């Protein structure tokens, strides 16, 4: 039996999740960083890189006041581009 929980009880309304992606890499997990600048905390977590993991992030992004951003690092890990989650190519591929 799968366990279910409410994301609203686990997060603060001003939390931002950054989904980290490194160009030229494939992974079976989604590396995420949860930040809240007001509360001054950062937490890291991983989700399986399957449709359930993507649906979890999509749902989190749809909850009022919570945001998911897609963070793309170049191969040197120096340059970072941050784009809205729903404009990221993997999101478009899965949900449009």
- As a whole number of angstroms, the distance between CA 53 and CA 66 comes to 17
* Closest to 66 (Cα-Cα) out of 4, 7, 20, 1: 7
Gyration radius of the chain's alpha carbons:
13
Q: What is the per-residue pLDDT across 84-94, written as a single tens digit (0 to 9) for each? A: 999 999 999 99
Q: What is the per-residue pLDDT across 12-37, written as a single tens digit (0 to 9) for each? A: 778 899 999 888 788 899 999 999 88
pTM of the predicted structure, to 2 decimals: 0.80
């Amino acid at each position: 039996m799968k366990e279910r929980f409410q994301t609203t009880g686990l997060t603060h309304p001003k939390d931002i999740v950054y989904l980290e992606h490194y160009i030229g890499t494939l992974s079976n997990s989604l590396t995420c960083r949860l930040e809240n600048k007001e509360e001054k905390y950062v937490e890291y977590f991983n989700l399986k890189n399957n449709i359930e993991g993507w649906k979890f992030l999509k749902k989190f992004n749809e909850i009022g006041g919570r945001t998911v951003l897609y963070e793309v690092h170049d191969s040197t890990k120096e340059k970072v581009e941050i784009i809205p989650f729903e404009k990221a190519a993997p999101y478009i591929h899965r949900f449009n």
